Structure 1
């Protein structure tokens, strides 16, 4: 049952990733009404007539339905056979955000929704993906979610330096702050897509040939997103530098911060390619999809670090409460009644 749960959690994570990417494709190709204002039917049919927009929208709905069934099966297995509380939290969170984003998607089809609400729809899908990623990681070496000491090449734990510091409260708070801020930046990026404001800034890194353009309309929306992304890069760089200086002996903290910074840099350059590809439909679609893939990777890793920080309050060398087991009580020696003496 353990192997089956692990495989289902992996398939669910991949499926949720596809939902996020396909949702971005629906937005990029303006296929949101490819099935008309009907749900769950598509233009009055279960299998719609062939048009590009209807196929894209219908495929997105079909994948969402299949992944929901996978998630339900995983949910049942985790609660039936799993002993880890965090795995139950993750699968329950994935189910909650999946249902919520599906309801929002259906309402957006039947009733017109504002761009702000549709951007939130993408954010909920991203949260559902992060939950399934964290669930799958519980079955891998990264799934301890307590701070782990780096290992040597032969697999043994390396000796801790004398000045090894436990995870401080300030660093834990900073990681969570960066995680929340990252979600805000992602939301603003989704708002750019849903308002079709990508053309507000021509060129990169300058916006319409100016350092600070006129902050109105689409230009103001895109420029605000760029400034938010620059600040996010500064936060990500600071996160990595602090982790390298103080917590390089903690494998998942140091490597996690490195992956966050790496995906953040890739995300910034992919955003630049999106701008450079304006006016070329195929290139614009391709670069936009790469941008969405990197969003998933970036947010997934910062979510991982946030969860590690929740379990990083225990000093190194101390036993974590979740892993603590009661030691068996020593058996009492049998009483020899013949030798028992009463005063």
Structure 2
């Protein structure tokens, strides 16, 4: 059963990756209305082979992968609840995964049937990455990553712990600003990087403000991750899992910044934009694992004593 659980958890992550990828594809190709204002069926009926458009195919495939992924997530949550219930994080993570999966599906359906408010729809992506992160954490628990890196005995000081928590929250807020750029159609509001014609020009409309807000938020995120990495290597170099995690975070944030810049340079090339969404999803999931490690620190300190 343990082998099956590991395989199932990996498949669930792959399924949710397709869901996140598909959702980004729907947004970036303008396919949200590909099936009209009906849900779950397309225009109130099954898709007819004589009435197929690219937008309809993208929207139908996204709904289909979401439905399949829902089965995988629910089964994973049940199996984890039963077979790794000794871990204190298992039940909360299982609940979060299922709850945010349902909320994500509801928001997607609501957007189709009742219209799309950009500020609400920006939350849709944020909800999906929380569900994704919960599934990744369950997978890490199932694979007993803690034992491989001796993470269960880790003790983290208050300064690093607070930085990890706040950085994770800030990362989520940065993700929201990025999603808002897409839904406010502000991707090319400032069609050069870092500024148009090499100098800062005061924003004149909502799209300009949203674009500049996202760029500023992204800059702060890069600096903050570098600062936390410096703390880890200076004070916690004996913990391999922390060092590896922060090196990965730097790789992710560098790739995220690069794809963000290239999105502007290439006039929002579809593949670059999709990579931009996928990278931040994985980056946020890794941040939540650091939160999990930080949350255990007090118990580890008491156990060691």
Flag the structure with higher helix content: 2
Structure 2 match to 1:71: 73
Match of 2:139 among 110, 113, 136: 136
2:174 touches 2:214 (CA, 8 Å); kept in 1? yes
Structure 1 match to 2:288: 303
**Structure-to-structure mapping, 1:226-237, within 5 angstroms:** 226-237=215-226
Structure 2 spans left out of the alignment, 5+ residues? none
Deviation for aligned residue 1:258: 1.6
Scaled by the length of structure 2, the TM-score of the pair is 0.93
Aligned-pair Cα RMSD in Å: 2.1
Whole-Å separation in 2 of the counterparts to 1:212 and 1:254: 37
Structure 1 spans left out of the alignment, 5+ residues? 151-164, 322-343
Query: How many equivalent pairs are there?
Result: 301
Q: Does 1:119 align with 2:114?
A: no
**Structure-to-structure mapping, 1:234-273, within 5 angstroms:** 234-273=223-262
Scaled by the length of structure 1, the TM-score of the pair is 0.83
2:151 touches 2:293 (CA, 8 Å); kept in 1? no
2:164 touches 2:291 (CA, 8 Å); kept in 1? yes
Deviation for aligned residue 1:144: 5.0
Deviation for aligned residue 1:149: 9.2
Q: Does 1:98 align with 2:101?
A: yes
Larger relative contact order, structure 1 or 2 (CA cutoff 8 Å, min sep 6): 2
1:167 touches 1:315 (CA, 8 Å); kept in 2? no
Call closer, same or farther: CA 1:200–1:80 in 2, change over 3 Å.
same
1:37 touches 1:110 (CA, 8 Å); kept in 2? yes
Deviation for aligned residue 1:125: 0.4
Call closer, same or farther: CA 1:224–1:145 in 2, change over 3 Å.
farther
Call closer, same or farther: CA 1:46–1:143 in 2, change over 3 Å.
farther
Whole-Å separation in 2 of the counterparts to 1:211 and 1:145: 50
Whole-Å separation in 1 of the counterparts to 2:30 and 2:38: 16
Structure 1 match to 2:184: 195
Structure 2 match to 1:209: 197
Deviation for aligned residue 1:274: 0.4
1:147 touches 1:253 (CA, 8 Å); kept in 2? no
Deviates more, 1:268-277 or 1:249-258: 249-258
Larger radius of gyration: 1
